[in-house]
Amino acid sequence: MRTLRAIAAVCAAAALIPISAMAQKKYDPGATDQEIKIGMTAPLSGPASAYGVACPFTQGFFRMINDQGGINGRKLKLLCEDDAFTPAKGVEQTRKLVESEQVLFIYNTLGTANNTAIQKYLAAKKVPHVLINSGASKWDDPKNNPWTTASLPSNRAEARIFADYIQANMPNAKIGLLYQNDDYGKDYQTGLREGLGANAGRMLVAEQSYELSDPTIDSQIIALRSKGADVVVLGALAKHATQGIRKIGELGWKPQIFLGWASSSIPTVLKVAGLDHSTGVITTAVLKDPADTKWADDKIMKDYLAFMAKYYPQGEPNNISNTFAYATSWLLMDILKRSGDNLTHENVIREAQNIDMEPPMYLPGVRFRITPTDFDPIKQFQMVKFDGTRWQTLGAPIGR
């Protein structure tokens, strides 16, 4: 009888223990009761160093989260290595992070070429490769790339939206395309042709490519002008986008410029190119613009600016790389919170494949959705035009 009473007492006590506390904690290398180690490579040097802000930004964001108690009681630790925006260096540094530093996963690596170079290695190791900083359409491939998810709008989708807008508003346009000769730029080439459809032969009058290592693109811009283009689409990253806008202005040429969203930073691209040359440029947006006074009383904007002032004071709040990093950091926090005490590779990637939220800094009505069968996260875009100071919206958000 005493034995039965003892068993009953144990069962009653167990019933009072929260299920979460009874659940067995599961960890892969990089996670403990106290800490989660996360790896990142970034171009802290080299031709794309303007985008290297992701590393110091994320370090600042993790400090903020840790000051607030961490995630599920664990502190976050970022290990960031310089990949110089070269695939070979990216592979070397990623191997170091996984094999020597033993991070739980790789987060927010910049660039299509670099992510392509490390994707097979991480998949073979079954290490999550999450919220990568690339807009290449190739990442929307759950069957072949199940361990890789993206954080950015698709460049190919943006180019299709450009084509839709041009056909609706400038039906007789003669379009010249400048694109980077890699997956990034070729997505603009493919998307623009897809969007123009049967009109591509008539409207797309010139195409010029360049290499990331090219010191200048002046000759390509002059070639587009010689073909009579009155619309120019720049599928170019920051350095060459800046050169393109500046050269067009210096030539006294007045085409309507469409600029890829990744190069739409006011302080690092448009101001450097010259505000007089940049005025009138059109791009797409999914984020609130810190330079736009209509968000001055917005709580999320106030939170973002307060974060920048306290945790990343050397950063430029109006830099789109920082606003995207803020939104993406909250997506990561959502993944980690839902991962709970099951911090294994399999569970982290499972949670990364199931996101549906409107992250802080996204425009109203724009959502981030990833499912196990659809890795294309953003379907709606807001067309915006630069007025010399800030981006002004053009109609309602559009998408396909």
pLDDT for the residue numbered 325:
97
On whether both 134 and 179 belong to a single domain, the answer is: no
- Indicate the range of 18-32, 66-80, 194-208, 371-385 predicted with least confidence: 18-32
Q: What is the pTM of this model?
A: 0.82
Over residues 179-199, mean pLDDT: 96
Q: Which of 191, 231, 232 is nearest to 381 (CA)?
A: 191
Q: Residue 3: pLDDT band by 50, 70, 90 thresholds?
A: very low
pLDDT for the residue numbered 291:
86
Backbone angles phi, psi at 124, to 5 degrees: -65, -35
Does residue 387 sit within a domain? no
Does residue 46 sit within a domain? yes
Q: Is the predicted pLDDT of residue 14 greater than 50, yes or no?
A: no
Q: Please, which residues have CB within 8 angstroms of residue 238's CB and are 6 or more apart in sequence? A: 48, 50, 51, 262, 263, 265, 268, 269
On whether both 170 and 273 belong to a single domain, the answer is: yes
Q: Count of domains in the chain?
A: 2
CA dist., res. 191 & res. 186, Å (int): 8
Does residue 391 sit within a domain? no
In which domain, by residue range, is 130 found? 26-153+296-377
Q: Which of 61, 99, 63 is nearest to 81 (CA)?
A: 99
Tokens of 129: 């490769």
pLDDT for the residue numbered 400:
67
Q: Residue 53: pLDDT band by 50, 70, 90 thresholds?
A: very high
Does residue 363 sit within a domain? yes
Q: Is the predicted pLDDT of residue 20 greater than 50, yes or no?
A: no
CATH code for the domain of 194: 3.40.50.2300
Over residues 386-395, mean pLDDT: 93
On whether both 273 and 304 belong to a single domain, the answer is: no
Percent of the chain topping pLDDT 90: 85
The per-residue pLDDT for range 278-327, each reduced to its tens digit, is 999 999 999 999 988 999 999 999 999 999 999 999 999 999 899 999 99
pLDDT for the residue numbered 149:
98
pLDDT for the residue numbered 248:
99
Does residue 12 sit within a domain? no
On whether both 281 and 166 belong to a single domain, the answer is: yes
On whether both 139 and 165 belong to a single domain, the answer is: no
On whether both 87 and 174 belong to a single domain, the answer is: no
Final residue in a domain of this structure, among 217, 252, 285: 285
Q: Is the predicted pLDDT of residue 17 greater than 50, yes or no?
A: no
